[in-house]
Structure formats: structure tokens, C-alpha cells
């Protein structure tokens, strides 16, 4: 947008709340970059949050998450619900760059006014786990009714991100695996809603049956994750998915589980914040003469890694 001049964050926030997309875009960059400005932003918007329904959509690459997300946003929009999308894609571990291609699936279906933001994982340890909650908070505070966070469900970070949502949607496709796969621990355990996308393909009913079998063997609370069949490219099943999300949000409120969810999210965020802080302190401690001496001691087998780590930790805590 404009040159990177220092517009006060509070001004940007006021402009973003009145619907100015550029201001919101800039705020999300601050949230994404982390550091002191992100903290300032978080402090500012935190009191205004809590109104949005945060939906995480995750699943294997190619499952149709972006198309599904686009259709879902278009449908919710028609129902008078304002949605924002946070689409997370991986950064290259080699160059740090990224190709963020989710808009290509969403732009054709969403209305011109819909807000979509692409976010790269950017590799810095724990960074994404902080950037995503910070960005969600901004979108929540400016008044979106629903914030959809889309991630590729392959890594731990992505799983963390998805599980920070109020409602977690896991997308599978026909032929993705059988009942044994379904019973392996992982992403499916986190699901509040299961989607079999590309349901026009052979095997959709088998997938549904396998998922039902998995759920039968799972100790469930009062909410049994519904299984929704969709064909996102033809907008089939989208109304049912939308209704299911609304129902889950109501369930969270009525059953009193929403505070638990939000506490879980807060715990995850706080622990990550401290981890990131500790990691930064640890790296700079390692670079001190004492730290370098420790590295030598371990490399030359004069001390053990665990003893050296203990001594490093004590030094870090003393500094913190």
C-alpha cells in the first residue's frame, strides 16, 4: 500500500473497523510479522474479540479445502454472515519464499467484498502458532461473524493452528483410506465436523461408512461429529455444511463447552509465546562466550548434552 510509514496502529484499527480493506490488510501484516508491533496490536484488539465463530478447515493437500472454503464463504455471505478467510500455505524451507495459491480457488466463487488473506508458514519456530491467533484476533475484533482458517493438515504446526479454532472441520476424499486409516491417531481425532469432499466420485459412501465406524469406536462427548458429503466444485452439500457449523457453534454455547475451547486456545497460545521467548533467549545465550564454551565441551565430550542443556537453561532463566 503506501510507503511503510508509521501510521499509528490505533488509527489503522479504527479504519479497519469501518471496513477499509487496506487498513485491515496492513494490520494483518503486523500480526503476521510478530515482534513488538504485533504485541501492541494484540493488546489493542483483545478487548474487542470474542464475537466471531472461528472455524478451522484442514485436510490433505488436494482434498479441495480452498474450493470448499470459497463456497462456504459465498453461502454464508448469502445468509447475511460476514466471513473472513485466513489461508495458510507452506513456505519453502530452502528459500523462505512461498507460492500462495488459495485465492485462485476462492476468488471465482466468493463475492467481491469477501476478505481473504493468504499467509505463509515462514518457518520461524513457533512463529505461525503466534501469527495465526494474532490474525484471527484482528479479524474477530473488526467485526467478522465467522473467521475460517484453512491449513494443510500435514504438520504439527498446522494441527496446532486448526485446533485453536472453535470448530474443526477435517476434509477427506473418497479413496483416502479405509477404516484402519481412519482409526490411526491424528487429525481425525480433532474433528468436530467431518467432510467427505468430491462426493461425486466412486467410494464416497464407503468413506462415510469408514468414518462412522471410526466414530462408533471413539469415546465421544455430547457432540458426535456429523459427516457431511460435499462436491465443492458444484456447490453441493455446502448448505448442509454451513448449517452444521452453525449447529456446532450453538452446541458450544448451549452446552457450556465454549469457555473450555477458548481456554484451550489461550493455553496453547500462552505456552507457545513463552516457548518462542525462551527459544530466542536460548539462541542468544548460546552465542555468548559461556555458551560457546558449552558447545565445545559437548563437542569434545567433556560434558554431556543433558548437563550442558541444564546449565544453559539456568543461565537463560537467570537472564530472563
Partner 1 sequence: MTGASVTGAEPSPDPTEATDAEPSDLTPIRIVLAKLGLDGHDRGIKVVARLMRDAGFEVVYLGLRQTVDMVVAAVEQEDADAIGISMLNGGHLTLAPRMVEAVRTAGLDVPVIIGGIVPDADIAKLLEAGVAAVLTPGTPAEELVRVVRGAVSGA
> Which one of 21-29, 155-163, 178-186, 226-234 is the stretch in contact with partner 1 (CB under 8 A)?
21-29
Rounded Cα gap, residues 91 and 88, in angstroms: 9
Binding status of residue 88 toward partner 1 by CB under 8 A: no
Q: Which helix (H) or strand (E) holds 150?
A: strand 146-152
268-305 burial, b at 16+ Cβ within 10 Å, e below that, comes to bbeebbeebeeeebbeebeeeeebeebeeebeeeebee
| 125 belongs to the binding site for partner 1 (CB under 8 A) | yes
Q: What is the C-alpha to C-alpha distance for residues 131 and 126, in angstroms, rounded to an integer? A: 9
CB 109 within 8 A of CB 70: yes
Measured CA to CA, the distance from residue 22 to residue 265 in angstroms comes to 28
| Least distance from partner 1 to the Cβ atom of residue 56, Å | 20
Find the binder of partner 1 among 9, 13, 16, 24 (CB under 8 A).
Answer: 24
Q: Is 25 in the site for partner 1 (CB under 8 A)?
A: yes
Q: Per CB under 8 A, does 62 bind partner 1? A: no
Contact partners, residue 198, CB within 8 Å, separation at least 6: 63, 64, 173, 174, 204, 231, 232
Q: Least separation, in Å, of the C-beta of 107 and partner 1?
A: 6
**For the CA atoms of the chain, what is the radius of gyration?**
22
Choose the binding region for partner 1 from 98-106, 161-169, 291-299, 312-320 (rule: CB under 8 A).
98-106
Task: Considering the complex, state which of residue 69 and residue 91 has its C-beta at the smaller distance from partner 1.
Answer: 91
Of 7, 99, 271, 307, the residue at the interface with partner 1 (CB under 8 A) is 99
Contact code string over 220-259 relative to partner 1, x by CB under 8 A: ----------------------------------------
Angle of helix 21-33 relative to helix 36-45, nearest 10 degrees, comes to: 120
Binding segment toward partner 1, per CB under 8 A, in 67-75, 123-131, 140-148, 181-189? 123-131
Does residue 116 touch partner 1 according to CB under 8 A?
yes
How near is the Cβ of 123 to partner 1 at its closest, in Å? 6
Residues comprising the chain, all counted: 320
Three-state DSSP class for residue 39: helix
| 3-state SS assignment for residue 247 | helix
State which of residues 11, 92, 271, 274 lies at the interface with partner 1 (CB under 8 A).
Answer: 92
Residue 152 and residue 89 in contact, taking contact as beta carbons nearer than 8 Å: yes
Can you tell me which of 18, 47, 80, 95 binds partner 1, judged by CB under 8 A?
95
Question: 28 vs 54, which CB is nearer to partner 1?
Answer: 28
Can you give the binding site for partner 1, defined by CB under 8 A? Answer: 1-3, 21-22, 24-26, 28-30, 32-38, 91-92, 94-101, 103-104, 107, 112, 115-118, 120, 122-125, 127, 280, 283-284, 287
Amino acid at each position: 500500500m503506501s510507503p511503510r510509514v508509521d501510521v499509528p496502529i490505533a488509527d489503522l484499527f479504527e479504519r479497519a473497523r469501518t471496513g477499509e480493506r487496506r487498513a485491515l490488510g496492513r494490520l494483518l501484516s503486523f500480526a503476521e510479522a510478530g515482534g513488538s508491533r504485533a504485541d501492541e496490536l494484540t493488546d489493542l484488539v483483545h478487548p474487542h474479540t470474542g464475537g466471531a465463530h472461528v472455524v478451522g478447515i484442514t485436510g490433505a493437500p488436494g482434498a479441495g479445502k480452498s474450493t470448499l472454503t470459497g463456497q462456504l464463504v459465498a453461502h454464508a455471505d448469502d445468509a447475511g454472515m460476514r466471513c473472513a478467510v485466513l489461508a495458510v500455505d507452506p513456505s519453502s524451507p530452502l528459500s523462505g519464499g512461498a507460492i500462495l495459491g488459495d485465492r485462485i480457488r476462492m476468488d471465482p466463487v466468493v463475492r467481491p467484498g469477501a476478505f481473504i488473506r493468504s499467509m505463509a508458514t515462514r518457518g520461524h519456530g513457533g512463529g505461525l502458532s503466534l501469527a495465526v491467533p494474532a490474525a484471527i484476533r484482528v479479524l474477530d475484533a473488526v467485526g467478522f461473524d465467522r473467521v475460517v482458517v484453512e491449513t494443510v493438515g500435514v504438520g504439527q504446526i498446522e494441527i496446532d493452528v486448526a485446533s485453536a479454532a472453535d470448530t474443526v472441520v477435517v476434509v477427506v476424499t473418497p479413496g483416502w483410506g479405509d477404516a484402519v486409516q481412519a482409526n490411526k491417531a491424528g487429525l481425525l481425532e480433532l474433528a468436530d465436523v467431518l467432510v467427505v469432499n468430491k462426493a461425486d466420485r466412486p467410494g464416497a459412501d464407503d468413506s462415510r461408512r469408514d468414518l462412522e465406524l471410526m466414530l462408533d469406536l471413539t469415546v465421544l462427548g455430547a457432540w458426535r461429529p456429523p459427516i457431511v458429503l460435499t462436491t465443492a466444485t458444484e456447490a453441493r452439500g455446502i448448505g448442509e455444511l454451513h448449517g452444521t457449523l452453525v449447529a456446532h457453534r450453538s452446541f458450544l454455547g448451549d452446552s457450556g463447552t465454549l469457555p473450555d475451547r477458548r481456554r484451550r486456545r489461550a493455553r496453547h497460545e500462552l505456552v507457545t509465546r513463552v516457548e518462542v521467548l525462551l527459544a530466542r533467549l536460548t539462541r542468544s545465550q548460546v552465542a555468548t562466550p559461556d555458551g560457546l564454551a558449552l558447545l565445545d565441551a559437548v563437542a569434545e565430550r567433556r560434558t554431556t548434552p543433558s548437563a550442558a542443556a541444564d546449565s544453559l537453561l539456568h543461565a537463560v532463566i537467570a537472564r530472563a
